[in-house]
């Protein structure tokens, strides 16, 4: 799987987890301490988040990092 498809797949996982929590992209970004547009960029696979950002997202979603990337 070429790199960009990794990030697209990761973005899809983030979106699935976010929707499962009925959070908007802006609400998740705020909870995770990220810029309000960043979650949308991540979900479209347009950004390559750091491990720390992934930990922040998992915490904001109240799940473990392993769950956030569970399907990958």
Tell me the number of residues near its own copies by CB under 8 A.
18
Rounded CA-CA distance 68/72 in Å is 9
Q: What 3-state class would DSSP assign to 10?
A: helix
Q: How many CA atoms lie within 13 A of 27 on its CB side?
A: 8
Q: How far is the CB of 64 from its own copies (least distance, A)?
A: 6
Q: Which of 8, 27, 41, 54 binds its own copies (CB under 8 A)?
A: 54
Q: Which two tokens stand for residue 62?
A: 């109240």
Q: How far is the CB of 24 from its own copies (least distance, A)?
A: 22
Interface with its own copies (CB under 8 A): 3, 6-7, 10, 48-52, 54-55, 64-66, 69-72
């Amino acid at each position: 799987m070429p790199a960009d498809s990794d990030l697209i797949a990761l973005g899809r996982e983030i979106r699935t987890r976010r929707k499962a929590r009925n959070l908007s992209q802006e609400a998740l970004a705020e909870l995770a301490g990220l810029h309000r547009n960043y979650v949308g960029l991540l979900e479209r696979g347009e950004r390559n988040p750091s491990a720390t950002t992934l930990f922040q997202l998992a915490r904001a979603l109240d799940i473990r990092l392993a769950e956030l990337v569970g399907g990958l």
